[in-house]
């Protein structure tokens, strides 16, 4: 430990986990600094929509004093869930829960949201960032490795050569965490499933049929180790995942250049031969092009020994 009255707390990663941690510490009068490799808060697209459950995400936001702000930005209607057959017919349509079905907030507390409402990941991140003391997040700080010094103290080495010593290092740097390497040899492995992400802008006007098929929440059409998942985001955007159980290098094996939109579209249409033309339009009517997203997961169970600092 340092001789100053407060420990030097370094949180690696300005995602929902790291920012929530920093906010709760600050609410308790404990200072912490967050380091993120992104050049700024707007350096990249912040992805789709996350559902917040009463016992986890909403609980953390209550501890952070941000539940009201969350409720104001959340989309309870986003809990609608629709299952569609490969022929394009709606097989199951679950409406979002009403407040009086579960007695007000899902956990019965004032200010709680109903059920597991959705929020855009980017909006959630903004809400957390805006709640922190100015200067809490240091952007453009990519952690390269963590060096143990004396017991409990670690030196953080950043990619730009800078170093910082910390009494407590909190690894919130996501699935490919650099901090985790100090504790565990586990690495994420390919799940066998790849999503190709695409999207529809101004969907209700420009893609009315696809927007109607999606509904207000999530639509899934899954069959034969393939499927479409369409998710309503804010600002009339629909985010679409075209999923396949396939090899990690499916595109290379097929001799496909991922930047060649026409070739990717043709390859996806071939994968979904025999599916309803109504669903195939999720592939053809893209406004965003195609982003290949192979899915990885850490082994389960995953534990590590207690390590001071």
Ligand X SMILES: Cc1cc2nc3c(=O)[nH]c(=O)nc-3n(C[C@H](O)[C@H](O)[C@H](O)COP(=O)(O)OP(=O)(O)OC[C@H]3O[C@@H](n4cnc5c(N)ncnc54)[C@H](O)[C@@H]3O)c2cc1C
Q: Which of 46, 234, 276, 288 binds ligand X (CB under 6 A)?
A: 46
Q: State the minimum distance, in angstroms, from the CB of residue 90 to ligand X.
A: 23
Q: CB nearer to ligand X: give 57 or 105.
A: 57
Sole residue written with tokens 């597991």: 116
Question: Read out DSSP for 93-112?
Answer: EEPPPPGGGTTSSTTS-TTP
Total residues in contact with ligand X, by rule CB under 6 A: 24
Q: CB nearer to ligand X: give 53 or 142.
A: 142
Sole residue written with tokens 């855009």: 120
Rounded CA gap, 213 and 177, in Å?
38
Instruction: Tell me the C-alpha to C-alpha distance, in Å, between residue 198 and each of 110, 222, 266, 291, 296.
Output: 38, 17, 14, 7, 19
Q: State the minimum distance, in angstroms, from the CB of residue 37 to ligand X.
A: 4
Applying the rule CB under 6 A, the residues between 140 and 159 that interact with ligand X are 141-143
Q: Which of 8, 9, 11, 36 binds ligand X (CB under 6 A)?
A: 36
Applying the rule CB under 6 A, the residues between 177 and 206 that interact with ligand X are 178
Would the CA dihedral through 272, 274, 275, 277 be positive or negative? Answer: positive
> In the chain, how long is the greatest CA-to-CA distance?
69
Check binding of 38 to ligand X (CB under 6 A).
Answer: yes
Q: CB nearer to ligand X: give 166 or 275.
A: 166
Q: State the minimum distance, in angstroms, from the CB of residue 80 to ligand X.
A: 17
Q: How many CB atoms lie within 10 A of CB 265?
A: 18
Interface residue list for ligand X (CB under 6 A) = 12-18, 35-38, 44, 46-48, 50, 121, 141-143, 172-174, 178
């Amino acid at each position: 430990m340092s001789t100053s009255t407060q420990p030097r707390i370094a949180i690696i990663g300005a995602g929902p986990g790291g920012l929530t941690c920093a906010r709760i510490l600050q609410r308790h009068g404990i200072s912490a600094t967050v380091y993120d490799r992104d050049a700024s808060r707007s350096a990249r697209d912040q992805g789709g929509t996350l559902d917040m459950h009463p016992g986890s995400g909403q609980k953390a936001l209550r501890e952070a004093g941000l539940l009201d702000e969350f409720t104001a930005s959340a989309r309870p209607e986003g809990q609608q869930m629709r299952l569609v057959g490969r022929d394009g017919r709606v097989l199951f349509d679950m409406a979002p829960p009403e407040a009086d079905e579960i007695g007000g907030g899902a956990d019965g507390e004032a200010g709680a949201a109903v059920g597991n409402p959705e929020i855009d990941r980017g909006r959630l991140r903004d809400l957390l960032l805006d709640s922190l003391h100015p200067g809490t997040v240091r952007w453009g700080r990519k952690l390269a490795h963590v060096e143990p010094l004396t017991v409990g103290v670690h030196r953080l080495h950043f990619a730009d050569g800078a170093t910082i010593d910390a009494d407590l290092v909190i690894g919130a740097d996501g699935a490919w965490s650099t901090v985790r390497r100090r504790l565990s040899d586990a690495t994420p492995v390919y799940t066998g499933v790849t999503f190709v992400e695409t999207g529809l802008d101004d969907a209700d006007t420009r893609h009315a049929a696809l927007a109607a098929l999606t509904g207000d929440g999530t639509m899934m059409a899954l069959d034969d180790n393939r499927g479409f998942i369409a998710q309503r985001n804010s600002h009339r955007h629909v985010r679409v995942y075209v999923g396949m159980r396939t090899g990690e290098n499916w595109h290379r094996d097929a001799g496909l250049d991922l930047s060649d939109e026409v070739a990717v579209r043709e390859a996806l249409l071939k994968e979904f031969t025999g599916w309803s033309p109504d669903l195939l339009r999720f592939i053809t009517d893209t406004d965003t092009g195609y982003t290949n997203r192979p899915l990885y997961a850490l082994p389960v169970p995953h534990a590590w020994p207690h390590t001071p600092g």
